[in-house]
């Protein structure tokens, strides 16, 4: 998949200017992991009973209003948990964007790999620690908004 | 004025034809109960009226306003129909308090906050929930949740209140109370209502008019006494109450020949002589006779069960099982059962359908 994206950004003229930017990496990650994310999100949306939305419609809410007032509040925890899972996945994943990296546009995962190849272990350790802190902040944010880690 | 009319409504899912040319009228202040075995289309009909299912043909009008017309390709979404619906599961929004659940319809209609609050409190107090306004649904009992669901559907004065098996989630004792309470509430508020149920006693108790459905067709409709006492087809006759069905052939003008025994009854419709027929009699209309005689059904006792208030007996009459109730124990052997010929109703035979 990563290679396919490299080809797209090399040979598809409208996309070539983006190749050396973070946007190309962002697009690659979004497309590759969309199916995974959709799966997580749809299962949390399905947890909201169909009748709860129907009840809102009957009571007089338009489809968008019933999504806003019933579906989203009730699936909020699931949506946040999905975000947390995808976030943790991206933090340690490196295969998707590996071909799109250019100097100055590295991702932490691939950068750790290439740094350890060169033997710069102290830099690897420092970057890993930063990575851990970022993960910690992400998890703390998710917990603060109501994600429960067990059940 | 008619609050709701349904004309020749047809609805299918793929090859399954669920509703077939269904007609229904609800007058102001009337309680209609849709009754039928599972799979008869009663819930689908209610959902089609509510706009939750899409019919293919026919017409639905609420309060004189057409909300569905198959010919004109008109289909108003649920939120434009201004109905109130009580779900079987109650479908209360768990993240909102009882007050917010009930007040949501008023909020959507742009009712000023002060007035909305007042109407919510009044509706909740009327239903005996005045002290539970700020509880969440999971903090309420089943009966209280049901009342909140009813209050939510009533508070914005819908022209027709729809109830989908509203009593089936209550325990037996609560259900009996709720039956009387629900009818009183609807009548006193001058509401028009359609209720779906599969429970015949519930239907007879609550309805002004019972509509009996079978396989998506209206089999019979009428006042509860009418459908109970004057069924015009075998399905209706067997559906209500506890009955005994005897099969045989039609003999004479109005007699059924049950394996050689001739019993006179009331023939419903035109049936040629000698045709296979089924005669239905309610268990409570059969009694013990003193001895053999004309128009008495001779049968042999097979089995007796003590039910508390009475005995239930199973007897064999020429290979067919007959049920009767008596107050006292019954001796073994042959018995002669008497009945009023007006209560034995004879219909053209078809396969037994009382599932």
Tokens of B37: 């075995």
Average pLDDT rounded to a whole number, residues B314-340: 90
Q: Which residue of A has its CA nearest to B110?
A: A60
Average pLDDT rounded to a whole number, residues B93-105: 94
Question: What does pLDDT average to over chain A?
Answer: 84
Q: Which stretch of A142-151, B194-203, B210-219, B297-306 has the lowest confidence by average pLDDT?
A: A142-151
Task: Using an 8 Å CB-CB cutoff, list chain A residues near B52.
Answer: 54, 57-58
* Residue B73: burial class (beta carbons within 10 Å; 0-12, 13-18, 19+): exposed
Tokens of B290: 């003193």
pLDDT of amino acid B355? 34
Between helix B142-154 and helix B98-108 the angle, nearest 10°, is: 10
Bigger pLDDT: B259 vs B303: B303
Q: Of B123, B182, B104, B156, which Cα lies nearest the Cα of A52? A: B104
The predicted-structure confidence for B197-222, as pLDDT tens digits, reads as follows: 999 999 999 999 999 999 999 999 99
CB B271 within 8 A of CB B253: no
The predicted-structure confidence for A77-90, as pLDDT tens digits, reads as follows: 888 888 888 888 88
Confidence of residue B255 (pLDDT cuts 50, 70, 90): confident
**Angle (CA) A87 A92 A96, round 5°:** 90
Average pLDDT rounded to a whole number, residues B291-304: 88
State the nearest Cα–Cα gap between B108 and chain A, in angstroms. 6
> Span A2-144: which CATH code?
1.10.3720.10
Q: Does residue A89 sit at the B interface (CB-CB below 8 Å)? A: no
Bridge pairing between strands B57-62 and B2-13: antiparallel
Q: Which residue of A has its CA nearest to B85?
A: A58
Q: Which stretch of A21-25, B115-119, B190-194 has the lowest confidence by average pLDDT?
A: A21-25
CB B154 within 8 A of CB B85: no
Task: Using an 8 Å CB-CB cutoff, list chain B residues near A62.
Answer: 77, 79
Q: Does residue A52 sit at the B interface (CB-CB below 8 Å)? A: yes
CB B171 within 8 A of CB B163: no
DSSP A90-119: HHH--TTTGGG--TT---HHHHHHHHHHHT
Confidence of residue B234 (pLDDT cuts 50, 70, 90): very high
Q: Say if the Cβ atoms of B52 and A57 lie within 8 Å.
A: yes
Task: Using an 8 Å CB-CB cutoff, list chain B residues near A65.
Answer: 108
The predicted-structure confidence for A9-41, as pLDDT tens digits, reads as follows: 777 888 777 777 778 888 888 888 888 888 888
Which residues from B are below 8 Å from A when comparing CB atoms? 50-52, 77-79, 81-85, 87, 89, 91-95, 104-105, 108-109, 152-153, 156
Task: Using an 8 Å CB-CB cutoff, list chain A residues near B87.
Answer: 51, 54-55
pLDDT of amino acid B354? 39
ipTM over 0.90? The verdict is no
Residue A97 has pLDDT above 90, yes or no: no
Cα–Cα distance measured from residue B230 to residue B306, given in angstroms and rounded to the nearest whole number: 30
Say how many C-beta atoms besides its own lie within 10 A of residue B84's C-beta: 25
| Alpha-carbon separation of residue B227 from B40, B149, B236 (angstroms) | 17, 31, 7
Residue B161 has pLDDT above 90, yes or no: yes
Cα–Cα distance measured from residue A127 to residue A111, given in angstroms and rounded to the nearest whole number: 9
Average pLDDT rounded to a whole number, residues B219-239: 93
pLDDT of amino acid B352? 39
DSSP B251-271: ETTTEEEETTEEEE-EE-S--
Average pLDDT rounded to a whole number, residues B255-268: 88
Chain center to CA of B306: 29
CB B334 within 8 A of CB B298: yes
Average pLDDT rounded to a whole number, residues B328-345: 90
Helix, strand or coil, per DSSP, at residue B237: helix
pLDDT of amino acid B75? 94
CB B48 within 8 A of CB B169: no
User: With a CB-CB cutoff of 8 Å, which residues 10-49 of chain A face chain B?
Assistant: 49
| Alpha-carbon separation of residue B219 from B36, B50, B197, B246, B301 (angstroms) | 9, 22, 16, 21, 35
Question: What does pLDDT average to over chain B?
Answer: 90
CB pairs under 8 A between A and B: 63
State the nearest Cα–Cα gap between B218 and chain A, in angstroms. 26
Q: Say if the Cβ atoms of A58 and B95 lie within 8 Å.
A: no
| Domain segments of chain A as ranges | 2-144
pTM, two decimals, is 0.81
Q: Say if the Cβ atoms of B83 and A58 lie within 8 Å.
A: yes
């Amino acid at each position: 998949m990563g290679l396919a994206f490299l080809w797209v950004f090399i040979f598809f003229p409208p996309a070539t200017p983006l190749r050396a930017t973070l946007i190309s990496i962002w697009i690659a990650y979004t497309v590759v992991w969309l199916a995974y994310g959709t799966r997580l999100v749809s299962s949390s949306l399905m947890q909201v009973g169909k009748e709860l939305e129907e009840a809102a419609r009957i009571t007089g809410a338009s489809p968008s209003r019933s999504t806003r007032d019933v579906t989203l509040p009730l699936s909020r925890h699931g949506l946040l948990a999905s975000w947390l899972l995808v976030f943790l996945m991206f933090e340690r994943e490196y295969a998707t964007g590996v071909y799109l990296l250019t100097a100055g546009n590295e991702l932490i995962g691939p950068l750790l790999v290439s740094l350890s190849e060169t033997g710069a272990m102290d830099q690897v350790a420092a970057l890993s620690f930063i990575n851990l802190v970022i993960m910690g902040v992400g998890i703390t944010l998710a917990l603060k908004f109501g994600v429960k880690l067990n059940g | 004025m008619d609050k709701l009319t349904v004309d020749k409504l047809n609805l299918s899912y793929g090859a399954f034809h669920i509703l077939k040319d269904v007609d229904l009228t609800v007058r102001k202040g009337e309680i209609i109960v849709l009754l039928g075995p599972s799979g008869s289309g009663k819930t689908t009909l209610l959902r089609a009226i509510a706009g939750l299912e899409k019919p293919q043909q026919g017409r639905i009008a609420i309060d004189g306003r057409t909300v569905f017309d198959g010919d004109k390709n008109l289909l108003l979404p649920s939120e434009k129909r201004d109905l109130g619906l009580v779900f079987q599961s109650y479908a209360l929004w768990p993240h909102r308090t009882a007050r917010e659940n009930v007040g949501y319809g008023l909020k959507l209609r742009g009712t000023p906050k002060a007035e909305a609050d007042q109407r919510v409190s009044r509706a909740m107090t009327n239903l005996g929930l005045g002290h539970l306004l700020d509880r969440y649904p999971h903090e309420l009992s089943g009966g209280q949740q049901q009342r909140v669901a009813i209050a939510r559907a009533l508070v914005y004065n819908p022209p027709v209140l729809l109830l989908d098996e509203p009593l089936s989630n209550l325990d037996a004792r609560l259900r009996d109370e709720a039956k009387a309470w629900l009818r009183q509430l609807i009548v006193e508020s001058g509401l028009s209502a359609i209720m779906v149920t599969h429970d015949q006693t519930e239907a007879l108790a609550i309805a002004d008019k019972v509509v009996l459905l079978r396989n998506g067709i209206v089999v019979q409709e009428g006042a509860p006494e009418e459908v109970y006492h004057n069924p015009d087809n075998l399905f209706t006759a067997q559906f209500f109450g506890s009955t005994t069905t005897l099969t045989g052939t039609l003999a004479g003008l109005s007699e059924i020949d049950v394996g050689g025994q001739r019993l006179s009854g009331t023939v419903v419709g035109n049936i040629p002589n000698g045709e296979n027929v089924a005669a239905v009699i309610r268990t409570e209309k059969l009694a013990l006779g003193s001895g053999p005689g004309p128009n008495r059904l001779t049968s042999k006792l097979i089995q007796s069960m003590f039910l508390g208030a009475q005995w239930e007996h199973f007897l064999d009459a020429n290979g067919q099982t007959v049920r009767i109730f008596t107050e006292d124990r019954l001796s073994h052997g042959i018995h002669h059962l008497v009945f009023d010929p007006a209560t034995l109703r004879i219909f053209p035979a078809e396969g037994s359908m009382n599932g």
